A and B are shown apart, each in its own frame.
Chain A
Amino acid sequence: MNLLTTPSIWILLPILLSLLLSLVHRFHKLSVWIACLGSLLLAVAAFIFPQSLEFNLFGRKFLFDDTFLIFNRELILTGSQLKTIAMLYLFSFLWNIAGMRFSVSRWFPTISLAITALWITTLAVKPFLYAAVIVELIVLISTLLLTPRGKQAGSGVMRYLVSQTVAMPLILLSGWMVTGIETAPSASPLILRGTVLILLGFSLWLAIFPLHTWLPMLADETHPWVFSFIFLMQQSSLWLLLLEFLDQFAWLRNLNGIFSVMQWAGVLTLLAGGVLLSLQTRINRVLAYLILIETGYSVLAIGLINQGGGNALALSFIPRVLACWQWSYTLSSVQQIAPEIDGSFSSLSGLFSRLPFHSTSLIISLLSLLGLPALGLFPAKRMLWNSIANLTFQYTSLIALAVAGMALFILRMMHTLLTPDPETPPPALLIANEESLLQILILCVFTLLSLLMGIFPHIFLNPFLGLLEPFNHLLPLG
């Protein structure tokens, strides 16, 4: 067995590390530090590793193979996928390093590392349809984190488990159904059946409207820190998997109307997310609707892949994750500092006078996700809005409604944060200096990062266009 392979480094090694972490999970700080260090090293290694997989060290030449054989099947991680790997381990690092502060499960470092390695496995396994079973394994492992400590499993986590389990057979059957029919005419019933199965499977996985009902329920039951990690990792990896499907199956991407269906699915999901967010009264559920909105944008971007949607998708990966990180970090921190906040909107009344930096951070992360100019997601969203406007006016009003819904929610949120509750004591009587210098610094750094990405996208975001390199059938170079 050749162990000098890329899958050995970025899949087997972290899985072994997470097994080791499971032995020391009782020593929480130790396991967090091991997970952080492991994730950071793997991210940096993937970032600096040459795409040719060949380098010289101490006068010796090392040539890594991109293929690892297991049960006569292959795990392949090519040089062009290294940026994606670096990004996923960077997420794992960011969530572990800050997660130390919050009262999440002791298993978080162990499971987060295993989940990251498994998501990379989904992008590496050949035939790639088997990724469906690995996704199911990830879902099953994730449920251990998604069930809060000392509470019974809620209906949100159960619905999540059911919807993800139902998706797996659909994807596997679709692959079997269309094996070897590349030459069949696009109207072949087999192709249509295969397409329906794939689209339905991905709709269940990604919680596309109207199959999204479990998402807010789960967000309400789960710690925001855990929820944001699981779902940002899941959405980011599944979009890449969907691109892989479109790239590998010529019959799928050449089917008439497939991209229009995706555009409509994206716009309707976006609309549902925006409208439901504007009516939201539970603060924990907000992240679910933000993820729903971002899912809508991403599906829309894939639907517009031939009109520059691919670039918009690649440019949005990092700013989206950072904005959601900022939102969930700030919310978790607020709940840690002020446990009396019960999740209702009214309990946040006048929070600005008590926690000004946290309140500002909540608003800035929302504005970034809205696509406000000069903030991280603006370049990607501007590209999408322009593409849509150039293509058709059908979607414009619906997208405008969704954006208006989100803007309305932000205004409501600002009003709540700034207006003190007349029944609570004045701010002067509340404990002073509740925000530590470190917390303020972290919030300021992430705000600054968002600003830098929004103002200088060509410096901070353009390197991430490389995420699309593996999909050379779908997006031919040049």
Chain B
Amino acid sequence: MSETLRTVLAAILLLSAAINLVRRQWTLNIFALGLQYICIFLLILEVRSAFLAGIKLIVGLMVSLMLYLTLKSSGLIESTLLRRHVTSGEIFRGTIALLLALISFLAAPALQQSVFPQSSQLLLTASLGLILFGLFQMGTITEPLYLAIGLLTFLSGFELLYASLEFSRLLEALLTAVNLSLALVGSFFIVKDVESGSE
């Protein structure tokens, strides 16, 4: 895969994470989450075989589907085409997203030089970006869906970074279990939220 294509993929990856951070439209968020996992699959091919990278893709899409089906069965999905005004909160989060993307872009070279020499700069930028987006989302939101997305984004960033450092089948299996359990917990929280709201 050419360097330009990989750069575009990293940009799409960060953009989809930024959409999840900024926009509060659940169908769009789930779509962005799925897209995030597709980009991770393509980027991780740099350090993993297609078979092993494929596991991450399947798990990611399963996670997105699980969250989507929970939202749909709870009647919480609204049309993606529904037009909504941009709120001041979205502008604030958008600015933060830009800042975080800039930080990851600027910090990646120094981080590569001093801590992770075997990881490529692009991979580091993408993983650092995901970790920062995830952390910000987790730190500012208490809504179950966004908390789950924040945690999944944070973990994706870490998995992307760790994939370039070490490989262990047991660890891969455990991380897969963690991702699926996280989606289950996210769905559980969403259902609890709906049930307690309807009482």
B173 adjacent to chain A (CB < 8 Å)? yes
- In the bound complex, do residue B192 and residue A151 qualify as a contact, i.e. CB atoms below 8 Å apart? yes
Q: Which residues of B contact A144 (CB under 8 A)?
A: 185, 188
Nearest CB on B from A70, distance (A): 6
- In the bound complex, do residue B151 and residue A134 qualify as a contact, i.e. CB atoms below 8 Å apart? no
A130 adjacent to chain B (CB < 8 Å)? yes
- In the bound complex, do residue A193 and residue B115 qualify as a contact, i.e. CB atoms below 8 Å apart? yes
Q: Which residues of B contact A133 (CB under 8 A)?
A: 171, 174-175, 178
Given the contacts A137-B177, A161-B185, A153 and B192 also touching, CB distance less than 8 Å: yes
- In the bound complex, do residue A152 and residue B174 qualify as a contact, i.e. CB atoms below 8 Å apart? no
- In the complex, identify which listed stretch (B45-53, B97-105, B158-166) lies at the interface while the others stay far away: B158-166
Nearest B residue to A125 via CB reads B170
Interface string of B16-49 (1 = CB under 8 A from A): 0000000000000000000000000000000000
The answer, among A143, A151, A177, for a CB contact under 8 Å with B185, is: A143
B181 adjacent to chain A (CB < 8 Å)? yes
B138 adjacent to chain A (CB < 8 Å)? yes
Q: Which residues of B contact A65 (CB under 8 A)?
A: none
Q: Which residues of B contact A125 (CB under 8 A)?
A: 170
Residue from A73, A125, A153 with most neighbouring chain B CB atoms (10 Å)? A153
A residues 125-162 near B (Cβ < 8 Å) are 125, 130, 133-134, 136-137, 140-141, 143-144, 147, 150-153, 155, 158, 161-162
The binding surface of chain B is classed by DSSP as helix
Interface string of A160-201 (1 = CB under 8 A from B): 011001101100110011000000000000000100000000
The binding surface of chain A is classed by DSSP as helix
The answer, among B168, B177, B184, B189, for a CB contact under 8 Å with A73, is: B168
Nearest A residue to B189 via CB reads A153
B residues 135-189 near A (Cβ < 8 Å) are 135, 138-139, 142, 144, 147, 150-151, 154-155, 158, 162, 165-166, 168-171, 173-175, 177-178, 181-182, 184-185, 188-189
Interface string of B81-122 (1 = CB under 8 A from A): 000000000000000000000000000000000010000000
B78 adjacent to chain A (CB < 8 Å)? no
The answer, among A141, A153, A165, A177, for a CB contact under 8 Å with B115, is: A177
- In the bound complex, do residue B158 and residue A162 qualify as a contact, i.e. CB atoms below 8 Å apart? no
The answer, among B154, B165, B177, for a CB contact under 8 Å with A166, is: B154
Nearest CB on B from A446, distance (A): 34
Q: How many angstroms from the CA of A158 to the CA of B155 in the assembled complex? A: 16
Q: How many angstroms from the CA of A140 to the CA of B177 in the assembled complex? A: 10
Given the contacts A72-B170, A133-B174, A165-B151, A176 and B165 also touching, CB distance less than 8 Å: yes
A393 adjacent to chain B (CB < 8 Å)? no
A residues 228-272 near B (Cβ < 8 Å) are none
A71 adjacent to chain B (CB < 8 Å)? yes
Q: How many angstroms from the CA of A302 to the CA of B99 in the assembled complex? A: 41
- In the bound complex, do residue B192 and residue A140 qualify as a contact, i.e. CB atoms below 8 Å apart? no
Q: Which residues of A contact B199 (CB under 8 A)?
A: 150
Q: How many angstroms from the CA of A136 to the CA of B181 in the assembled complex? A: 10
Question: B residues engaging A (CB < 8 A)?
Answer: 115, 131, 135, 138-139, 142, 144, 147, 150-151, 154-155, 158, 162, 165-166, 168-171, 173-175, 177-178, 181-182, 184-185, 188-189, 192-193, 195-197, 199
CB pairs A–B below 8 angstroms (19 shown): A71-B168, A71-B173, A130-B170, A133-B175, A140-B181, A140-B182, A147-B188, A150-B199, A152-B192, A153-B144, A153-B192, A153-B193, A158-B142, A158-B144, A158-B147, A162-B139, A165-B151, A165-B154, A166-B154
